[in-house]
Every structure is written in C-alpha cells, then in structure tokens.
Chain A
Amino acid sequence: MSTVLELKGITKRFPGVLANDHIDLSLEKGEVLGLLGENGAGKSTLMNILYGLYAPDEGEIHVRGAEVRITRPSDAIALGIGMVHQHFMLVPVLTVTDNVMLGMEPAHFLGFLDRSVAARRIQEVSNRYGLGVDPSAVIEDLPVGIQQRVEIIKLLYRNADILILDEPTAVLTPQEVEGLFKVIRSMVSQGKSVIFISHKLKEVLEISDRIVVLRSGRVAGTTTSAASDERDLAAMMVGREVILSVPKEARAPEAVILQVEDLAVRDDHGAMAVKGISFQVRGGEIVGVAGVQGNGQTELVEALTGLRPIDGGRLEIAGRDVTRATPRKVTEVGTAHIPEDRQHVGLVLDYPITHNLVLNSYYLPPVARDWVIQEEVINERAERLVAEYDIRTPNTFTPVGNLSGGNQQKVIVARELSRPVKLTIASQPTRGLDVGSIEYIHGQLVRKRDEGAAVFVVSAELDEVMSLADRIIVMYEGRIMGVVAAEHTTKEDLGLMMAGVAPSSKGTHISALQSAG
C-alpha cells in the first residue's frame, strides 16, 4: 500500500477555541479511514482545511508524497480530493448532468454546453461503481439516497481518488446505508481512498479499515475496526465510560393521555403531509416515531402542539379536546414541547437564559403580577434551573445564542419539564448533540415517563427510537406503516417499514400491533 495523503501537525485556532491541535493523520491507497468524534471535536474543521475552505495556522499537507498548499476548493479538486458535504451541495432545480458538470462543463465554442458528453461520462461512472443514477433526472425529484450518489458522482467525474464523506448516513434509511456501503466498497476495491466521518460508532466499525478518534481538537487514539468495539470507541470519544443503551425499567402504561383520531395535516405547499392517522399515547409510556425525515413527522408534531392548523380529525390531550387549540392552550393543558428546530422555534437566541426559561409562563403569577414582569422571580428561577439541569454557562444572563447546542437544548428541557406536565412531545431531541448531552436528555425523558407522563418522541435516529421507546410507530408518506413493541422488533424490520414495505404477516409484528391497539 502507498500513502496517498498525510496531514502533519495541523493546527487551527478560532477566536477563543483551539479547533485543531497538532493533528497527524495518514490515508493509504484503497482504504476506508473512519474519522470519529463528537460534535465540536474538530472533524469538520480538519476536513474543511483539507478541502481548502479554511487555511490552517500551522502544519503541512502531503498528497502522494509531495507537500501541497490548498487555499481553495478548486486546488483540492485539482489534487484529486473530493468531499461530500453533510448538507448536500446540489442545486435542486437542475438536472443531475447540470449539477455534476458545473464548474467543469464540456462546451463547444462560445461556451455552448455539450450536455451529451457530460451525460455519457456520468452514465459511465454510474455503471462502473454500481450507482444507478439517471443523468437526466432533476435533483429535487430524487430521494435523498440517490442525491447522495449524485454527490459521489460529482467527485468521481472529477477523477477524485481521495473521497471525504462528511456524516453521510445522517439522512439515510438503514437500507440506503447498506447501499452506500456497497458503493464505498466498490470504490475502494478500484483503488479509491475514503475518509468516512461520523459519530455513529456502529457504522464506523462496519465500514472502516482504520479508525482515528478526535477529541477536543486532538487525536485521542488510532485503532482498527478489527481491534476495537463500540465501548472502546465511545470511551475514546468522550474520554470516559459511556452507557450506550438507555437504562429504564419496565413499567405498565396507565390511562390514555394523547388521543389522535384520523388526523390529517397539510404541509407548507398545501400537499397532504399526514393522511388520516390514529394512535394513542398512555401515561407512563414512551412512544417513538421512526421514519425517514420528511414523511410527515414534522407536520404531525406541529399539529399536535397547535403550531399548524389541522385539516381533519380530532385531538385530545388529558381528556380535553385540543383539535383547534392554540399553542398556549395546548401548553396549559399540560403539554411540554421540545421542538425539532431548537434555534428558531425553541429559543429566542438573543434573549438571556433567564428570559428564555419563562417563555411559557411569563404571563402567569408569580412571574407576572398585575401586568408587570417580576425580574427577581425570573432570576431566582433561572439560578435554580441552571443548577438543577446542569446548564454550563458563564452566568444566567448569557444570551442562549452563545451556548453550545447541548446547553441550548438543556435550557429548553429545563423550561418545558420543570413544571408538572402530563404529555411531553420531543422532536429530534438529541440531534447534533454530543454523547454526554444525549445521555442527559434521554435520562430526563425517561424520568418523565417514570413519573407517569405520556412521552412522544420523534427521531430520525433509529437507534435512539429503539432504545428510548416502549412502542414504535413507523411513518411512511404520511401514514402509519406499523406499530410495534420496541423489544420485539429489529432494525431490519423497521428499516423495511420506513421504506414503505408493509410488515410481514408472520411472527411478532401482528401480535405487537394488536397489543398496541
């Protein structure tokens, strides 16, 4: 094997943060290198340096033995380095061909595009690596998994042989992940090298040959997939032992708290997003919703919390009809809401922690007395909650926009769960959080369940739904594909349902369905 890429002593400082601290890393021809680390560990910074989006303060980059300077993405492309970004860099209204050839367009004189040459080359690349992409398709009509392949084609079209994949599985179903792994293996077998960035331990273990773990901007360890397991990697990532599963005891569900009947909701474009679904959530149980993003989960949660008008059906929370209720009314009947978009929906980023903590109670005594806000009451409450919920902050008057993602989420959890609630609705509660914060948030949700509240969790992370929930609802294109008991199901079965395949008629699913109904 020969070394195709070597990073030596890469250091990058941002104001107040040492994002990369003398990182050394090497990549061999034909291998998959897993780059593992929590959010903020410095993975993205490192890769952005490699791709020419940031300039390093110190350190050297060697490509195929020669030292290089990469100051722009086009430098990286010229060196055969390509990156699939976490957020796809595709123009939705253009075709696959247009997207792929952009920046390197074959053209006749006067710059007239030669689309057929590009399309032929795309077809060639697609066939060679088994990607199955139609060059004439328009991006916005393609499923996410295929869009990702278009991103990979973009790199191969430019003859990249060092491919950086940044969190490539975050938006995929388990089946799509398998497909991606096949593509990666096919590329590696044909001499490409891949850097696979992720914080998902299982996937890194499955696909990588070697694994480099980053923690707080430094290399915390280098290992191989063969020589390590999830527990080792998690400990390396976090710097201490981590409990990977959610500890919770069995508990018998109580009375129905959330009752949903034939709920129909439209999305922003007026299309039906939730197509007449019914389910119940009882006190003392956690019901999880699994599904690929964009199958109606967002609209469902917004309808439940009064943020989106509903098109048909009936909603009841703790025996009260809340079908046409306002968000305040929903809150007042005892609902806590941890929204999907914590920065835009959950918090006012420019407000201090103190005020964010009373956004749902500022109009009630003791915070408000005769139209006047009682600042001392707010400050005392903030002091208490910051201590109780372990919010790491310089002081209680810090604007929440300055906090880390994990601490922002803790502010929301503190505000929502520090009062008596009958129903907790949490949407993507741990998205983008580090392992420590995830553990904490999960613990809080389980605590609410154990106190007898109904808990409703929507998450794109299948592992999270499976470990947290007692029952799992699988949504596909606005309908419920199946309801299963968490302990009786497998990832594969859930994955099939998430892809729209009805659960098989034999075995545990039916019984689970019946016991759930």
Chain B
Amino acid sequence: MTDSQTPERSRRRARTLGIAFLLFALGILILFMPSTEPGQQTRFSFVETRAEALQIGDLIFPTRIGLSLLAVLTAFTGAWQLVRGFGRANTVLGIVVGLFILAFLTWAARDQSMNLTGLIKSSLLRAVPITLAALSGVMCERSGVINIGIEGMMLTGAFASAVAASVASSVWMGLVGAMLAGGLMASLLAVLAIRYKVDQIVAGTAINILATGLTGYLNSRFLQRTPELNRPPTFSAFPIPGLSRIPIIGPAVFNHSFAVYLTMALIVIIQVMLFYTRWGLRTRAVGEHPRAADTLGVNVFLTRYINVMLGGMVAGLGGAYLVLSSVARFDELMTAGKGFIGLAAMIFGKWNPIGALGSSLIFGFADSLQTRLAILSIPIPSQFLLMAPYLATVIVLAGVVGRSRPPAADGVPYEKE
C-alpha cells in the first residue's frame, strides 16, 4: 500500500527492475553461452510413462540458438521496462525469472534430455506439504496468532497418520488421525498463547521440540518393535477423466492422488471463506484490530481458538501427506523443515491461500529441480544444488517481490481491559 503511494519510489523501483532484467539477459550470455559447444542440442521431453495422455514428440533444438533467443527476449523485456515500463511489474518479474530458468534448463540439458512434464509433476507433489503448512499458518496468523510450531504439528500428524492408517488399514483413517493429532498440538499452542499469553515464538518452539521428542520416543519405543504399526497403505493415483489426457499438463497436474486434489480444494475453500464469509471477516478483524472486533461483540478468544485448532488440523494433514502419498512409513524428523518453508511461503504469499500456493510451487520447483540436476551431472557441486530451495527461501524473504504486510495484531496477545 504505502509503497505504491509514493510515485518517486515506484519510478525508482521500475528502473531498478529494468536494469535487473538486462542483467538477467547478460547472465544468460555469460553463464551459459561460453560452456556450450556449437553443435550441441537440447532435448525436452514430455513423457509420463504411466499416463494415457495423448503423446507428443520431444522438442529438440540447438542449445546455442535456444539460449540466444531467450537472452534476446529477456533483454527486450528489460529495455521495454526501462523505456516504457510495464503496468504490472511483479508479473513481468515472474516472467523474466521464468525465462532465465528456462535458459538454465536449456543449458543443463544440452546433449541430454530433460523431462519437463515430470519436472512440473514433481514440483507440484513437493509443493503440496509446503502449501498445507502455509495454509495452516494463514489460518492462525489471520486471526492474530503466530504459529511457529507448524513443523511440530506436521511431525505429530505424520506419526499419527502412520499409526492410524496402519491399524485401520485405511488412508482415510490416517487423515483423521493426523488431523486429530495436529489439532491436539495446536490446542496446546492456543492455550499457551491465548489463555496464558506466553510469547508465541517461545510457545511454538516448545511445540516443535516437544513433537520431535515425543515422536522420536514413540517411534523407537513402539514402531520399531512392532513394525506392523508403521506399515500404512498409500493413496493411489486417480487420473481425472478427460483432463488427464491433455498433453503435457494432463499427466503433470490431473493425474494425482486424492490427497493432492484435497489440498487444491482446501486452498480454494479457505480463500473463499476468508474473504466472503462471516467467519472470514471476523477472523481478519480479530487479526487486525481485536479490540474493535471485541467492542462489536465478536468473541476474540473463541475466534482465535477455533482458527488455531483448524490451522493445526491442516498442518496435521501436511504431515499425513508425507506418509501416505509415497513413503508409506513414519521416519524420525521426516518433515525436514517443510513447516518452516511453509511459513516462508505464507509470508511470500502475503497471507493469502492462493498466494501461499504460488510461493509453495516455487519452493517445490526449486526442490525438484535440484534432484533432476543431480541426475544430469552438471558441473555444479551437489551441495549447492541442495541449497537451492533454501536459497530461494532466503531470497524470497529478503523481499524480492516487495514488502508484504502481516495482520496488524499478529503475535500480540489480546488483553481485555
């Protein structure tokens, strides 16, 4: 808001962006061109083995020409931005970054083959748990409670889903167990933060530590001795009739398990609920100005309790996804920081569900690109590739896309007069 109100500032920002775009173009020329031999060719394939989508052939082109084309396109965008300026600078920034990544892929896949459909598919799959973590954060923080314990809630959710799904041999019971466990951990945060007004960062950290210790103990005490408790079934893929036959996109987006569709549905539902329902309006009012809501008869404490518990359930689902989608077992510390990356996605997505999905996809893409590149044996140390998702987090948090504004009462306990 405030940024756009000062014309001089936005002019300066527009100019900076234009120069940045030109630097991207230069980057393509300097970083990728020199190590490309004239005769090399890049092959992008769009195959998804198990899918029944309409097949299309591979895209094969000379690497040098592809890179030059992309560099010219990027440079042109930069020049246009400098001279004329685009209305929607952030969208254009996204496009330019996309071009740069495409150039990178072109270079990385020279004399080799890169499966773009597979890349999109795995980006989406890796984005799902991050999205659920971010959604959990959105639910809590929109009502004014910082939830740094998402990681812990996911971990307990993962544990509970493994046990529940194994015992009942049903993935659905796994989801129920995860939601209960996540909700239980969240109710602990809610009581600490709302009733006892404990510092919310401390309370969230305590939950993370508790979850690590608790699941670690239960795992070694029970699951490892009775492996039947840790043998859950997994979701099977359910291609959506018709849509999954679309070339390229179909197998990448519409051939997933029910858990992925559920996540997409949750995003839309929460987005709509937040901005078009009574619950959403009250939630946002409580997160922005709890006293104002209180004076109008809105129950601030109840609203926060409900939102934190719902948020915990969503985080639990995120944990369940990790177990029930592919791994089919609980492992200690299996969330591996996804809860925290989800928090970053929430901030990057400006506390909106749709935005959270968008930023989660970026993190998911960085993550899956990293594994692909490791296979392609490109001359970048694998340690750097492993850093990619976290580097993306840091860059995003440093505010590449402009400042995002948290709910005004985020993290502030409400005291009645």
Contact = CB atoms under 8 A, between A and B. Distances in A.
Contact of B281 (A77, A83, A113, A271): A113
A74 B298 CA distance: 8
A271 B279 CA distance: 35
Given A91-B292, A104-B296, A112 B1 contact: no
B22 to A, nearest CB: 25
B399 to A, nearest CB: 14
Q: Is the interface of A mostly helix, strand, loop or mixed?
A: loop
A102 B2 CA distance: 25
A104 B417 CA distance: 23
Nearest to A110: B277
Contacts of B35: none
A105 B279 CA distance: 10
Contact of A271 (B6, B285, B293, B297): B6
A23 B8 CA distance: 57
Contacts of B417: 48, 53-54
Interface stretch (A92-100, A123-131, A390-398): A92-100
A140 B405 CA distance: 14
Nearest to A77: B297
A270 interface: yes
Interface string B244-279: 000000000000000000000000000000001111
B288 A94 contact: yes
Contacts of B3: 269-270
Given A83-B295, A104-B296, A271-B6, A89 B289 contact: yes
Nearest to A269: B2
Given A91-B285, A92-B288, A93-B288, A272 B293 contact: no
A60 B279 CA distance: 36
Contact of A85 (B9, B295, B416): B295
A119 B44 CA distance: 54
Given A77-B296, A102-B298, A269-B2, A91 B277 contact: no
Nearest to B294: A73
B6 A103 contact: no
Nearest to B277: A111
B284 interface: yes
Contact of B289 (A48, A91, A270): A91
A175 to B, nearest CB: 25
A73 B281 contact: no
A54 B281 CA distance: 27
A293 to B, nearest CB: 18
B49 interface: no
Interface residues of A, number: 35
A103 B9 contact: no
A277 interface: no
A154 interface: yes
A89 B295 contact: yes
A270 B295 contact: no
A90 interface: yes
A391 to B, nearest CB: 29
B278 A107 contact: yes
A134 B298 CA distance: 24
A105 to B, nearest CB: 5
Contacts of A51: 295
B15 interface: no
A369 interface: no
A270 B408 CA distance: 19
Among the interface residues B6, B284, B292, B294, which one has the most CB atoms of the partner chain A within 10 A?
A: B292
Nearest to B417: A53
Contacts of B297: 72-74, 77, 103-104
Contacts of A101: 281
B278 A94 contact: no
A104 B281 CA distance: 11
A196 B416 CA distance: 24
Contacts of A272: 6, 8
Contacts of B6: 269-272
Nearest to A97: B281
Given A89-B289, A92-B288, A269-B2, A105 B296 contact: no
A287 to B, nearest CB: 29
A92 B296 contact: no
A113 B1 CA distance: 25
A6 B358 CA distance: 58
A113 B285 contact: no
Nearest to A87: B291
Contacts of A91: 284-285, 288-289, 292-293
Nearest to A44: B417
Nearest to A271: B6
A74 B279 CA distance: 18
B5 interface: yes
B281 A102 contact: yes
A298 B278 CA distance: 39
Interface string A268-306: 011110000000000000000000000000000000000
A73 B295 contact: yes
B121 interface: no
B282 interface: yes
Interface string B288-320: 110111111110000000000000000000000
Contacts of A92: 288-289, 408
Among the interface residues A54, A88, A102, A272, which one has the most CB atoms of the partner chain B within 10 A?
A: A102
A271 B292 contact: no
Nearest to B291: A89
Interface in B1-60: 1-3, 5-6, 8-9
B276 A113 contact: yes
B7 to A, nearest CB: 10
Contacts of B8: 272
A408 to B, nearest CB: 21
Interface string B121-162: 000000000000000000000000000000000000000000
A94 B284 contact: yes
A112 B1 CA distance: 27
A116 to B, nearest CB: 13
Among the interface residues A54, A83, A93, A112, which one has the most CB atoms of the partner chain B within 10 A?
A: A93
Contact of A113 (B277, B293, B416): B277
Given A102-B296, A271-B6, A94 B279 contact: no
Contacts of A269: 2-3, 5-6
14 contacts: A72-B297, A73-B294, A77-B296, A77-B297, A88-B292, A91-B285, A102-B298, A103-B293, A103-B297, A105-B278, A107-B278, A111-B277, A112-B276, A269-B2
Interface of A: 48, 51, 53-54, 72-74, 77, 83, 85, 88-94, 98-99, 101-105, 107, 110-113, 140, 154, 269-272
Give the top 3 A-B pairs by smallest Cβ distance, nearest first. Answer: A74-B297, A103-B296, A89-B292
Given A89-B289, A89-B292, 20 more contacts: A73-B294, A73-B296, A77-B296, A90-B292, A92-B288, A92-B289, A93-B284, A94-B284, A102-B281, A102-B282, A105-B278, A112-B276, A112-B278, A113-B276, A113-B278, A140-B1, A270-B2, A270-B3, A270-B9, A271-B2
